[in-house]
Amino acid sequence: MIVVATEDFEVYHGVVTDLRDRGVAFTTIEPGDDWPEGTAVVVTAVGEDVDAPEGVTAVDADPDRPRRAVEEAIAAIRGQTGRTIVGIDPGERPGIAVLHGEMVVAAFQVPAAEAADVVHREVEDAVDPVVRIGDGARLVGSRIVDDIEGVPVELVDETGTTPYLGSGARGMGDVLAAVNIAHLAGEEISSRDIEPTTGELQRIKDRSREASETNRAIDEALARRVAEGDLTVEEALAEHRGDAETGDEPDGPDPTER
């Protein structure tokens, strides 16, 4: 059983709320009260002096990070140990799964530009974490890899990691793929140098045409800068409009434009 024993209201409120949201059985006591029978894990606030029974796992909770303490307590109650692994299914809105040992403790789907921030936040206090990212969506994936700092990154063959989605599971594919990617060891990398293909550049130009109010696509030079992560499509369109207004737009149609 998980026991919450703290006089810190912020810790108490944060930990109890998270435990209830997850449907985890727990009880609470005042520090100094008798320990309930079956106590296996005790959660207290950082700095509190609580004399836990012998053999009981003590978890210190930071009032700003109650979820991290709850994850540690749940892992302890299940007898799980192991490193923190972050799996990423890359894309414009990558799926991200955070595992502690074999258990998924958090999942996200955010814009690609925010993926590295999520990773850094989730591994901040972890011991020996690793990030595993699928090898698909090469251009976006390479930018995510370049944005991740201070954490080992492994490139994983993501073939077959996206599961069949039955009725009612629409929209879950990227996150479930990220869970599968997290379970696969890959090749450690520090960056991905990707030369965008003609097809990838064309897709970026097509996206810019769809986003343009005048139904005009950006040129290949700007598309390449988008592919390399120097510009967003919106920034490239703004620069393209500026060139047109100053007369710097290339003469003639773009030979790669359809």
Q: pLDDT tens digits, residue range 93-112?
A: 999 999 988 889 899 999 99
Give the pLDDT means over successive 10-residue stretches in the chain (258 positions): 94 95 92 90 91 89 92 84 90 94 91 95 88 93 93 96 90 95 95 81 89 87 82 86 60 46
d(CA 24, CA 16): 10
Neighbours of 211 (CB within 10 A): 15
So what's the pLDDT on residue 257? 47
Contact 175, 95 (CB under 8 A): yes
So what's the pLDDT on residue 157? 96
φ/ψ of 253, rounded to 5, equals -70, 150
DSSP class of residue 55 equals T
So what's the pLDDT on residue 247? 53
So what's the pLDDT on residue 243? 66
Alpha-carbon distances of 150 from 16, 98, 121, 147, 175, rounded to whole Å:
32, 17, 12, 10, 24
So what's the pLDDT on residue 245? 58
- Which architecture characterizes domain 88-189 according to CATH? 2-Layer Sandwich (3.30)
φ/ψ of 64, rounded to 5, equals -85, -10
Alpha-carbon distances of 216 from 90, 187, 233, rounded to whole Å:
28, 41, 12
Angle between helices 198-211 and 220-227 (to 10 degrees): 100
Q: What value does the CA radius of gyration of the chain take, rounded to a whole number of Å?
A: 24
Question: Facing residues of 133 across strands?
Answer: 88, 155
Angle between helices 233-246 and 220-227 (to 10 degrees): 150
So what's the pLDDT on residue 114? 96
- Enter the tokens of residue 249: 């737009």
CATH 3.30.450 fits 2-77, yes or no: no
